[in-house]
Amino acid sequence: MNIPEDCRYSSDHEWIRSDGDGRFRIGITDYAQDALGDVVFVELPEIGLKAKANESICEVESTKSVSDIYAPMSGTVVEVNSDLADAPDRLNSDPYGEGWICMIEADSASDVDSLLDAAAYQELTEG
């Protein structure tokens, strides 16, 4: 299972990568995409959405089921990966790259420090 060192992780199986200036790119982990199976639809959040930590901001649907994506930190959605509208399978093929979901400008950039690091997330997935 691929767990890049340069990301932080939520216990809901999302990755969070700093883009600088208090902005964080968000997606689902390799573990999550494998468990979901083929992703067939991504409902992207609206740009400008005020997200609260641990609240649902959008949905990802696989052939099997619908899953909520939770904001890993409070902030504002400033960018979304609109390519996913026509190519939701990018969540499976490149979850940490082309399969990114949205960018959040954190209310407090230091919130990211409370998220799991790669080692702790690996432990979670193996638990």
The 43-82 site mask, x for binding another protein (CB under 8 A), equals x-----------------x-xx------------------
Name 5's Cβ contacts closer than 8 Å, sequence gap at least 6: 118
Shortest approach of another protein to residue 51 CB, angstroms?
Answer: 17
Point out which span in 23-31, 34-42, 97-105, 106-114 binds another protein (CB under 8 A).
Answer: 34-42
Which one of 39-47, 96-104, 105-113, 114-122 is the stretch in contact with another protein (CB under 8 A)? 39-47
Applying CB under 8 A, does 94 fall inside the site for another protein? no
Does residue 85 touch another protein according to CB under 8 A?
Answer: yes
